Amino acid sequence: MHWILLGVAGILEIVWAIAMKYSDGFSNLLPSIITVVGYIASLVFLTFAMKQLPVGTGYAIWTGIGIIGTTVLGVLLFQEKLSLLQVLCLALIIIGVIGLRLLSPEN
């Protein structure tokens, strides 16, 4: 169950980060509200997940999910560009997240 909570926390991190971009510096009301609510909800789910997970593993996977998700959506929604080196670095993050999940003693 704690892995599911961590996944939800990671998805909510993506939601609030993308909403923050749409909020245009908190000048657009709805995206600003989504940012704040998404951030709080993400931290709540992360908190519950980390009751059972090591702090380093939980935090690293949470941020990894956020990094990958926001980067992909940044490319798709905002036409942000990635260099080959950036793609390689993202691949290393994905490998790290998968490795932490597979090698976690809480499997």
User: For 44-74, how does the pLDDT look when each residue is reduced to its tens digit (9 = 90+)?
Assistant: 999 999 999 999 999 999 999 999 999 999 9
Q: 107 or 33: which carries more pLDDT confidence? A: 33
- Paired tokens of 24: 């245009």
98 vs 102: CA distance, rounded Å: 6
Give the global pTM: 0.91
Q: How far is CA 79 from CA 14, 28, 74, 86, in A?
A: 17, 21, 7, 15
**Res 40: pLDDT:** 98
What does the buried/exposed string (b/e) look like for 34-54 if buried means 16 or more CB atoms within 10 Å of the residue's CB? Answer: bbeebbebbeebbebbbeebe
Angle, alpha carbons 61-47-44 (nearest 5°): 105
